[in-house]
Amino acid sequence: MSEVKVGVIFKSYEPLSAIQAYAKQTEDSGFTGGFWIAEAYHWFRSYGLESRGCFTALAAATMATKDIPIGLGITSPYVRHPTIQASEAAGIDELSNGRFIMGIGVGKVGIEYLEYDIAVQKPVHIHQESIDIMRKIFTGEEYSYKGQHFESSMPAYDRAGDGLRTEIPIYVGATGPYMQKLAGRSSDGMLLAGLASPTFTQYAIDNMKAGAASVGREIPDDFPVGGVILAACNNDGPKAKLATRAYVGTYVVNKLRNIKNDVILAGSGLPAEAWDPFRAAIEEGTADNVAHLVTDDMQRRFTVISGTPTECVEITQELIDSGMNLPLLEVVGATEADNIETIRLFGAEVLPHLHAKQA
């Protein structure tokens, strides 16, 4: 039986003062899964939100906490060379006294601003090479590396002698089967994107284990399998469901327009025609306003953690029982106070009632 860990995640479009308040509340509320930041991009200006750098946001969160893990879930190796990613990661790891978890993934919404052809610069190769280079840098050993996409060499440095970690965990954000297999072959943990239902979680775990088996790697029961799950917890259940509705709509549009992964949508169990109104909104240019298309049933089928504490216990446990041992609550509310209340209430009235998946 593996331990239940639940974390909290915010995108880096939040004000830094709010991020610090959320991080502190996360630690005070007993979330052993830690506090995480997902890198936001200027695409979110479409929703009236302004992006901050993810490592700056992580530094702010680190300084507001003392003990819980600090995670990045995720940034894209397409936007920074692995040597730069490694130096940023090493800085946050030092600032947090060894609490940092590095997370990388495609970030397709973000890289659409860049002149990348991912049909040529394929994600699996890009991510594998990034992992290889970052791990070499973390060891402090001299190396020379020439891959298909990245190349670098460095002299040795005694990181351990400076009291710095020589191994920093690297998690892979994996939406499709090839990236899920990569997570099993090469990563220290797998992170699933928004709307990760139990069906999709099990699908991803099967792919992850297949990837591990292909290189003779055995995946332990406590291997981290995280998922970014929209969350709002309130004693007023309808208020909580209203808070997540617009974000579910945005995620559905993103899956249809950018990520184009039908397996995620199918994992809800809803028929294919359920997405026709969203496709029509994309065609009509109204995709930024689709909250009215999202029903409570749709949210429940996607295992969105919204409702009363009792409802949140049931939904979160369902995800844990599917194999997700690191649910990351993407807390969404109308105000900073609402978000703080979700974290506080979840810690007080949901976490104590969760249990690990039975072996």
Cβ partners under 8 Å of residue 14, min gap 6:
22, 52, 57
Q: What are the extents of the domains in the chain?
A: 7-353
Q: Do residues 236 and 345 lie in contact, with contact meaning Cβ atoms separated by under 8 Å?
A: no
Q: Do residues 2 and 321 lie in contact, with contact meaning Cβ atoms separated by under 8 Å?
A: no
Percent of the chain with pLDDT over 70: 97
pLDDT of 262 reads 80
Confidence of residue 108 (pLDDT cuts 50, 70, 90): confident
pLDDT of 120 reads 82
Choose between 44 and 170: higher pLDDT. Answer: 170
What 3 state SS string does the chain have? CCCCCCEEEEECCCCHHHHHHHHHHHHHCCCCCCEEEECCCHHHHHHCCCCCCHHHHHHHHHHCCCCCCEEECCECCCCCCHHHHHHHHHHHHHHCCCCEEEEECCCHHHHCCCCCCCCCCCHHHHHHHHHHHHHHHHHCCCEEEECCCCEEEECCCCCHHHCCCCCCCEEEECCCHHHHHHHHHHCCEEEECCCCCHHHHHHHHHHHHHHHHHCCCCCCCCCCEEEEEEEEECCCHHHHHHHHHHHHHHHHHHHHHHHCCHHHHHCCCCCHHHHHHHHHHHHHCCCCCCHHHCCHHHHHHCCCEEECHHHHHHHHHHHHHCCCCEEEEEECCCCHHHHHHHHHHHHHHCHHHCCCCCC
Q: What are the tens digits of pLDDT across the range 41-89?
A: 888 888 899 999 999 999 999 999 999 999 999 999 999 999 999 999 9
pLDDT of 110 reads 66
Within 10 angstroms of residue 182's Cβ, the number of other Cβ atoms is 23
Is residue 4 pLDDT above 90, yes or no?
Answer: no
Is residue 311 pLDDT above 70, yes or no?
Answer: yes
Note the CATH number of domain 7-353.
Answer: 3.20.20.30
pLDDT of 1 reads 38
Report, in angstroms and rounded to the nearest whole number, the Rg of the chain calculated over CA atoms. Answer: 19
Q: What are the tens digits of pLDDT across the range 282-307?
A: 999 998 899 999 999 999 999 999 99
Give the number of C-alpha atoms closer than 13 A to the C-alpha of residue 13, restricted to the C-beta side. Answer: 14
Q: What is the mean pLDDT of residues 338-357?
A: 97
Confidence of residue 113 (pLDDT cuts 50, 70, 90): low
Q: Which tokens go with 243?
A: 């808070």
pLDDT of 26 reads 98
C-alpha pair distances (Å), 58 with each of 67, 97, 109, 123, 238: 14, 13, 21, 25, 32
Q: What are the tens digits of pLDDT across the range 220-260?
A: 999 999 999 999 999 999 999 999 999 999 999 988 987 77
Q: What are the tens digits of pLDDT across the range 204-223?
A: 999 999 999 999 999 999 99
Percent of the chain with pLDDT over 90: 88
Q: What are the tens digits of pLDDT across the range 7-17?
A: 999 999 999 99
Is residue 335 pLDDT above 70, yes or no?
Answer: yes
C-alpha dihedral, 68 to 73 to 77 to 81, nearest 10°: -30
pLDDT of 77 reads 94
Lowest mean pLDDT among 57-61, 90-94, 185-189, 263-267: 263-267
pLDDT of 183 reads 98
Q: What is the mean pLDDT of residues 157-164?
A: 98
User: What does pLDDT average to over the chain?
Assistant: 95
